[in-house]
Structure 1
């Protein structure tokens, strides 16, 4: 009698494999009306959870052809991204401007990074950052509406932070969770909150 058992080796999935699969599913299974900035913010969250990095952020080319801050996993990374935009130098700017032609751009605690981006290096070292890897994100199309959505969301986060004394990360989480639960665009909710309106459910539970 012939043994027809499939003898291909089955490799069990590790916890990391499962987390990667969950991240891919979360990032790819979005509705047609998904919010771009929410997707990018979730990407930074997955990056910090799966990689040995302290924080992650994303810069984009806006509709004027300029590099601009889009989103970050925490406040320190947000400040470092905005500093690069203000100074006009830094690894994230170079990577974004190259549109991927340079490949990954690295900044390390060495003379090379200091010589290439001297003003940014000073800020990075003061913040305790000794290494940065800027990896270009390639896409067949470039969204030019992401930045304006980002402005509303950042303003709403600031309003909630000031009103309730919570962190910017918690403010974003509350906005996103509320928008998802009511199935409304995150950007629409952010505009309402930024204008001084918004639901009372966003207030922290005492």
Structure 2
């Protein structure tokens, strides 16, 4: 019952944020963190397709996972890539098995280096339209239960609805251009993280958490704050929020 109440609370929280002026990247990052909490996974990454039909990373629960997902994209391999192309969930994949990972050995090796031994990928789709995938990683060798799979897919579905909602709200832009804008914003955020991490002597994950807190405190989107940082117009202490 506690888990059901937690799932309901998170879904209500998600729906409440789907307004005309919500921050897509912040929303998806929050969902990835919630997914870690609900499924007791160690990390989550989200990929979506851009205007050129190529998968791009849009959110990750931590820096280690972001780098792993970027490696998967660079080599066009891994369960998340397969999930997107097939539209089918890829579940309980043992990264320590050479037979299971024969099609994506380099990705599996990189994942093991990060301490992960099991991965899962859930499609982000509405009816027949697949727009991306959610990748779960675990350092423990155990399978997702049926209820865990349902919860994970529900979160993937909410993320899908959020992205499609963004398309509908901003009718003045082409649908794929909106996703491209979100991906471009992600690049700006990563640049700002790097600048502040070096300036404040903080880890990248701690830097992003501080940016999110300060953006909320100042009533800004994370992207707006990141743009101020990269353009040199930001004033104040990132840890002051």
Question: Same fold judged by TM-score > 0.5?
Answer: yes
Deviation at 1:105, TM superposition (A): 4.9
| More helix by percentage | 2
Instruction: Provide Cα deviations, 1:90-110, integer angstroms capped at 9, x if missing partner.
Output: 111122233xx2233553132
Tell me what 2:194 maps to: 158
Q: Secondary structure at the match of 1:202?
A: coil
Structure with bigger RCO (C-alpha 8 Å, 6+ apart)? 2
Tell me what 2:36 maps to: 48
Give 1 or 2 for the bigger CA radius of gyration. Answer: 1
Instruction: Provide Cα deviations, 1:128-166, integer angstroms capped at 9, x if missing partner.
Output: 211110111223636513211211111111111111011
Q: Secondary structure at the match of 2:215?
A: helix
Q: Verify: 1:133 aligned to 2:120, yes or no.
A: yes
Q: Which moved more, 1:190-199 or 1:147-156?
A: 190-199
| Residues 52 and 203 of structure 1: CA distance in aligned 2, closer, same or farther (over 3 Å) | closer
Q: Secondary structure at the match of 1:201?
A: coil
| Residues 204 and 179 of structure 1: CA distance in aligned 2, closer, same or farther (over 3 Å) | closer
Tell me what 1:103 maps to: 89
Given that residues 79 and 90 in structure 2 are in contact (C-alpha distance below 8 angstroms), is that contact kept between their aligned partners in structure 1?
no
- Scaled by the length of structure 1, what TM-score is found? 0.83
CA RMSD across the alignment:
2.1
CA distance in 1, matches of 2:205, 2:16: 23
- Scaled by the length of structure 2, what TM-score is found? 0.72
| Residue from 16, 32, 51 that aligns with 1:29 | 16
| Residues 60 and 105 of structure 1: CA distance in aligned 2, closer, same or farther (over 3 Å) | farther
CA distance in 1, matches of 2:222, 2:23: 7
Q: Secondary structure at the match of 1:111?
A: coil
Tell me what 1:195 maps to: 231
Q: Secondary structure at the match of 2:28?
A: helix
| Residues 180 and 203 of structure 1: CA distance in aligned 2, closer, same or farther (over 3 Å) | closer
| More strand by percentage | 2
Q: Secondary structure at the match of 1:171?
A: helix
- Mapping of residues 1-206 of structure 1, within 5 Å: 13-14=1-2, 16-30=3-17, 31-98=19-86, 101-108=87-94, 109-138=96-125, 139=160, 141=164, 144=179, 145-203=181-239
Aligned length: 190
Given that residues 44 and 60 in structure 2 are in contact (C-alpha distance below 8 angstroms), is that contact kept between their aligned partners in structure 1?
yes
